[in-house]
Amino acid sequence: MKENKYDDPQFFEQYSKMSRSVQGLGGAGEWHELKKLLPDFAGKTVLDLGCGFGWHCRYAAEQGAESVTGVDLSEKMLKKAEEMTLSPNIRYVHSSIEEFPYSEDSFDVVISSLAFHYVESYAEVCRKIFNSIRENGSFVFSVEHPVFTAQGKQDWHYGPDGNPLYWPVDHYFTEGYRQAVFLGSEVVKYHRTLTTYLNVLTETGFSLGRVVEPQPDPAMLDLPGMKDELRRPMMLIIQAQKPSPGPRRETSR
Protein backbone atom coordinates (compact mmCIF):
# COMPACT_ATOMS: atom_id res chain seq x y z
CA MET A 1 0.00 0.00 0.00
CA LYS A 2 1.38 3.41 -0.97
CA GLU A 3 1.49 6.07 1.71
CA ASN A 4 -1.60 8.22 1.61
CA LYS A 5 -0.95 11.18 3.84
CA TYR A 6 -3.49 13.32 2.04
CA ASP A 7 -6.35 11.23 3.51
CA ASP A 8 -5.11 11.90 7.04
CA PRO A 9 -7.82 14.32 8.30
CA GLN A 10 -5.43 16.70 10.06
CA PHE A 11 -2.95 16.85 7.16
CA PHE A 12 -5.79 17.25 4.67
CA GLU A 13 -7.20 20.16 6.66
CA GLN A 14 -3.82 21.88 6.69
CA TYR A 15 -3.24 21.24 2.98
CA SER A 16 -6.73 22.57 2.20
CA LYS A 17 -5.74 25.92 3.73
CA MET A 18 -2.68 26.45 1.51
CA SER A 19 -3.06 29.22 -1.03
CA ARG A 20 -2.59 26.71 -3.86
CA SER A 21 -5.58 24.80 -2.48
CA VAL A 22 -7.83 27.80 -1.91
CA GLN A 23 -6.96 29.92 -4.95
CA GLY A 24 -5.88 27.10 -7.28
CA LEU A 25 -3.28 27.71 -9.94
CA GLY A 26 -3.08 31.45 -9.26
CA GLY A 27 -2.12 30.67 -5.67
CA ALA A 28 0.79 28.42 -6.67
CA GLY A 29 4.13 30.24 -6.78
CA GLU A 30 5.41 28.20 -9.73
CA TRP A 31 2.32 28.34 -11.94
CA HIS A 32 3.55 31.32 -14.01
CA GLU A 33 6.54 29.18 -15.08
CA LEU A 34 4.82 25.80 -15.38
CA LYS A 35 2.17 27.35 -17.60
CA LYS A 36 4.81 28.42 -20.15
CA LEU A 37 6.09 24.87 -20.49
CA LEU A 38 2.73 23.22 -21.10
CA PRO A 39 1.82 22.29 -24.67
CA ASP A 40 -1.27 23.37 -26.57
CA PHE A 41 -4.09 21.26 -25.09
CA ALA A 42 -6.61 21.73 -27.93
CA GLY A 43 -8.04 18.35 -28.96
CA LYS A 44 -5.57 16.46 -26.80
CA THR A 45 -5.97 13.43 -24.55
CA VAL A 46 -4.41 14.32 -21.21
CA LEU A 47 -3.29 12.36 -18.14
CA ASP A 48 -2.62 14.19 -14.85
CA LEU A 49 -0.71 12.06 -12.32
CA GLY A 50 -1.32 13.11 -8.73
CA CYS A 51 -4.08 15.51 -9.73
CA GLY A 52 -5.13 16.48 -6.19
CA PHE A 53 -7.99 18.96 -6.32
CA GLY A 54 -7.98 18.80 -10.13
CA TRP A 55 -6.84 22.34 -10.87
CA HIS A 56 -4.59 21.28 -13.74
CA CYS A 57 -7.24 18.93 -15.14
CA ARG A 58 -9.76 21.76 -15.29
CA TYR A 59 -7.16 24.06 -16.85
CA ALA A 60 -6.44 21.49 -19.59
CA ALA A 61 -10.17 21.10 -20.27
CA GLU A 62 -10.64 24.88 -20.40
CA GLN A 63 -7.80 25.02 -22.92
CA GLY A 64 -9.67 22.62 -25.19
CA ALA A 65 -8.45 19.16 -24.17
CA GLU A 66 -10.71 16.47 -25.60
CA SER A 67 -10.44 14.27 -22.54
CA VAL A 68 -8.59 14.54 -19.26
CA THR A 69 -7.89 11.74 -16.78
CA GLY A 70 -6.88 12.81 -13.27
CA VAL A 71 -5.28 10.18 -11.05
CA ASP A 72 -4.85 10.46 -7.30
CA LEU A 73 -4.48 8.16 -4.32
CA SER A 74 -6.43 10.39 -1.95
CA GLU A 75 -10.17 9.91 -1.87
CA LYS A 76 -10.60 13.18 0.00
CA MET A 77 -8.74 15.08 -2.73
CA LEU A 78 -10.74 13.41 -5.50
CA LYS A 79 -14.05 14.08 -3.75
CA LYS A 80 -13.25 17.79 -3.65
CA ALA A 81 -11.94 17.67 -7.23
CA GLU A 82 -15.23 16.18 -8.39
CA GLU A 83 -17.24 18.80 -6.52
CA MET A 84 -15.33 21.55 -8.32
CA THR A 85 -15.54 19.94 -11.78
CA LEU A 86 -18.38 20.56 -14.22
CA SER A 87 -16.73 19.51 -17.50
CA PRO A 88 -17.87 16.11 -18.78
CA ASN A 89 -14.45 15.74 -20.45
CA ILE A 90 -12.72 15.13 -17.11
CA ARG A 91 -12.75 11.82 -15.26
CA TYR A 92 -11.01 11.10 -11.98
CA VAL A 93 -9.44 7.74 -11.14
CA HIS A 94 -8.65 6.63 -7.60
CA SER A 95 -5.21 5.02 -7.87
CA SER A 96 -1.61 5.46 -6.94
CA ILE A 97 0.63 6.72 -9.74
CA GLU A 98 2.50 3.40 -9.72
CA GLU A 99 -0.60 1.20 -9.94
CA PHE A 100 -2.65 3.15 -12.49
CA PRO A 101 -3.39 0.83 -15.44
CA TYR A 102 -1.43 2.64 -18.17
CA SER A 103 -2.56 1.52 -21.61
CA GLU A 104 -0.35 1.82 -24.67
CA ASP A 105 -0.34 4.89 -26.94
CA SER A 106 -3.24 6.48 -25.09
CA PHE A 107 -2.22 10.03 -24.20
CA ASP A 108 -0.94 13.09 -26.08
CA VAL A 109 0.07 14.88 -22.91
CA VAL A 110 1.08 13.60 -19.48
CA ILE A 111 1.45 16.14 -16.68
CA SER A 112 2.24 15.83 -13.01
CA SER A 113 2.52 18.56 -10.41
CA LEU A 114 4.64 18.02 -7.28
CA ALA A 115 3.85 14.31 -6.99
CA PHE A 116 6.89 12.28 -8.11
CA HIS A 117 8.86 12.98 -4.95
CA TYR A 118 6.27 10.76 -3.25
CA VAL A 119 6.99 7.97 -5.76
CA GLU A 120 9.66 5.40 -4.90
CA SER A 121 9.98 3.88 -8.36
CA TYR A 122 10.53 6.87 -10.65
CA ALA A 123 12.26 4.90 -13.42
CA GLU A 124 9.46 2.34 -13.58
CA VAL A 125 6.82 5.07 -13.72
CA CYS A 126 8.75 6.83 -16.52
CA ARG A 127 8.79 3.62 -18.56
CA LYS A 128 5.03 3.20 -18.09
CA ILE A 129 4.44 6.82 -19.13
CA PHE A 130 6.69 6.44 -22.18
CA ASN A 131 4.67 3.43 -23.38
CA SER A 132 1.40 5.18 -22.66
CA ILE A 133 2.23 8.43 -24.42
CA ARG A 134 1.87 8.84 -28.17
CA GLU A 135 4.70 9.85 -30.51
CA ASN A 136 5.50 13.55 -30.29
CA GLY A 137 3.56 13.56 -27.04
CA SER A 138 4.58 15.89 -24.22
CA PHE A 139 5.53 14.98 -20.69
CA VAL A 140 5.77 17.95 -18.31
CA PHE A 141 6.16 17.60 -14.57
CA SER A 142 7.27 19.47 -11.47
CA VAL A 143 8.94 17.97 -8.42
CA GLU A 144 10.55 19.25 -5.28
CA HIS A 145 14.10 20.25 -6.22
CA PRO A 146 16.93 17.87 -5.24
CA VAL A 147 18.48 20.73 -3.24
CA PHE A 148 15.22 20.87 -1.30
CA THR A 149 14.92 17.11 -0.68
CA ALA A 150 18.58 16.09 -0.16
CA GLN A 151 19.17 16.71 3.51
CA GLY A 152 15.82 15.38 4.65
CA LYS A 153 14.19 17.64 7.16
CA GLN A 154 13.40 20.33 4.62
CA ASP A 155 14.08 23.30 6.81
CA TRP A 156 16.55 26.17 7.01
CA HIS A 157 19.53 26.32 9.30
CA TYR A 158 18.59 29.11 11.72
CA GLY A 159 20.84 31.57 13.49
CA PRO A 160 20.58 32.35 17.22
CA ASP A 161 18.05 35.12 16.46
CA GLY A 162 15.75 32.65 14.69
CA ASN A 163 16.45 33.95 11.21
CA PRO A 164 17.25 31.48 8.43
CA LEU A 165 21.02 31.59 7.83
CA TYR A 166 21.11 29.27 4.85
CA TRP A 167 19.70 26.08 3.36
CA PRO A 168 21.53 22.89 4.39
CA VAL A 169 22.45 20.33 1.73
CA ASP A 170 23.70 16.88 2.72
CA HIS A 171 23.50 13.23 1.53
CA TYR A 172 22.97 14.53 -2.02
CA PHE A 173 24.11 11.36 -3.77
CA THR A 174 22.26 9.07 -1.35
CA GLU A 175 18.95 8.67 -3.10
CA GLY A 176 15.72 7.35 -1.67
CA TYR A 177 13.69 7.53 1.52
CA ARG A 178 13.46 10.80 3.46
CA GLN A 179 11.26 11.65 6.42
CA ALA A 180 10.32 15.29 6.00
CA VAL A 181 8.06 17.60 7.95
CA PHE A 182 5.36 19.25 5.84
CA LEU A 183 2.45 21.22 7.31
CA GLY A 184 3.35 19.97 10.78
CA SER A 185 3.14 16.27 9.81
CA GLU A 186 5.83 13.72 9.07
CA VAL A 187 5.70 12.80 5.42
CA VAL A 188 7.74 10.23 3.49
CA LYS A 189 9.41 11.55 0.34
CA TYR A 190 12.04 10.19 -2.01
CA HIS A 191 15.15 12.18 -2.86
CA ARG A 192 16.72 11.85 -6.30
CA THR A 193 19.58 13.77 -7.87
CA LEU A 194 19.06 16.05 -10.83
CA THR A 195 21.18 13.58 -12.81
CA THR A 196 18.64 10.83 -12.10
CA TYR A 197 15.62 12.99 -12.89
CA LEU A 198 17.05 13.89 -16.29
CA ASN A 199 18.94 10.79 -17.34
CA VAL A 200 16.16 8.34 -16.54
CA LEU A 201 14.11 10.33 -19.04
CA THR A 202 16.74 10.17 -21.80
CA GLU A 203 17.49 6.51 -21.06
CA THR A 204 13.77 5.74 -21.30
CA GLY A 205 13.68 7.34 -24.74
CA PHE A 206 12.39 10.85 -24.08
CA SER A 207 14.18 13.87 -25.50
CA LEU A 208 14.68 16.74 -23.09
CA GLY A 209 13.07 20.12 -23.61
CA ARG A 210 13.29 22.87 -21.02
CA VAL A 211 14.44 22.43 -17.46
CA VAL A 212 13.37 25.24 -15.15
CA GLU A 213 13.87 26.02 -11.48
CA PRO A 214 10.95 28.39 -11.00
CA GLN A 215 11.38 31.54 -8.99
CA PRO A 216 8.27 32.87 -7.28
CA ASP A 217 6.05 35.08 -9.37
CA PRO A 218 7.35 38.64 -8.80
CA ALA A 219 3.77 39.62 -7.97
CA MET A 220 3.90 37.27 -4.94
CA LEU A 221 7.23 38.42 -3.47
CA ASP A 222 5.55 40.50 -0.78
CA LEU A 223 3.82 37.47 0.74
CA PRO A 224 5.36 36.39 4.09
CA GLY A 225 8.53 34.32 3.64
CA MET A 226 8.42 34.54 -0.16
CA LYS A 227 11.72 36.41 -0.51
CA ASP A 228 13.49 33.44 1.10
CA GLU A 229 12.36 31.43 -1.93
CA LEU A 230 15.06 33.32 -3.88
CA ARG A 231 17.74 31.87 -1.60
CA ARG A 232 17.49 28.23 -2.71
CA PRO A 233 15.62 26.36 -5.43
CA MET A 234 12.54 24.56 -4.18
CA MET A 235 11.09 23.14 -7.36
CA LEU A 236 12.21 21.73 -10.64
CA ILE A 237 10.05 21.65 -13.78
CA ILE A 238 11.05 19.30 -16.57
CA GLN A 239 9.65 19.23 -20.08
CA ALA A 240 10.27 16.15 -22.22
CA GLN A 241 8.94 14.73 -25.42
CA LYS A 242 8.48 11.26 -26.87
CA PRO A 243 10.27 11.61 -30.20
CA SER A 244 8.77 10.32 -33.38
CA PRO A 245 10.77 7.38 -34.70
CA GLY A 246 12.67 7.82 -37.95
CA PRO A 247 16.29 8.92 -37.75
CA ARG A 248 17.07 9.20 -34.06
CA ARG A 249 19.27 12.06 -33.01
CA GLU A 250 22.71 10.87 -32.25
CA THR A 251 23.92 11.35 -28.71
CA SER A 252 27.47 10.33 -28.05
CA ARG A 253 28.00 8.06 -25.10
Residues engaged in binding its own copies (CB under 8 A): 36-40, 136, 138, 147, 150-151, 157, 165-174, 193-195, 198-199, 202, 207-213, 215, 230-233, 239, 241, 243, 249-253
Pick the closer one to its own copies by CB: 8 or 217: 217
CA dist., res. 154 & res. 128, Å (int): 30
We find the least distance from the C-beta atom of residue 76 to its own copies, in angstroms, to be 33
Residues with Cβ within 8 Å of 210's Cβ and at least 6 positions away in sequence, in order, are 37, 237, 238, 239
DSSP label at 42? T
Pick the closer one to its own copies by CB: 79 or 227: 227
Hey, is 44 helix, strand or coil? coil
We find the least distance from the C-beta atom of residue 188 to its own copies, in angstroms, to be 21
Pick the closer one to its own copies by CB: 3 or 175: 175
Pick the closer one to its own copies by CB: 85 or 138: 138
Pick the closer one to its own copies by CB: 27 or 168: 168
CA dist., res. 46 & res. 57, Å (int): 8
Exposure b/e, 121-154, CB count within 10 A at least 16 = b: ebeebbbbbbebbbeebbbbbbbbbbbbbbbbeb
We find the least distance from the C-beta atom of residue 86 to its own copies, in angstroms, to be 27
Hey, is 240 helix, strand or coil? strand
We find the least distance from the C-beta atom of residue 66 to its own copies, in angstroms, to be 17
We find the least distance from the C-beta atom of residue 7 to its own copies, in angstroms, to be 33
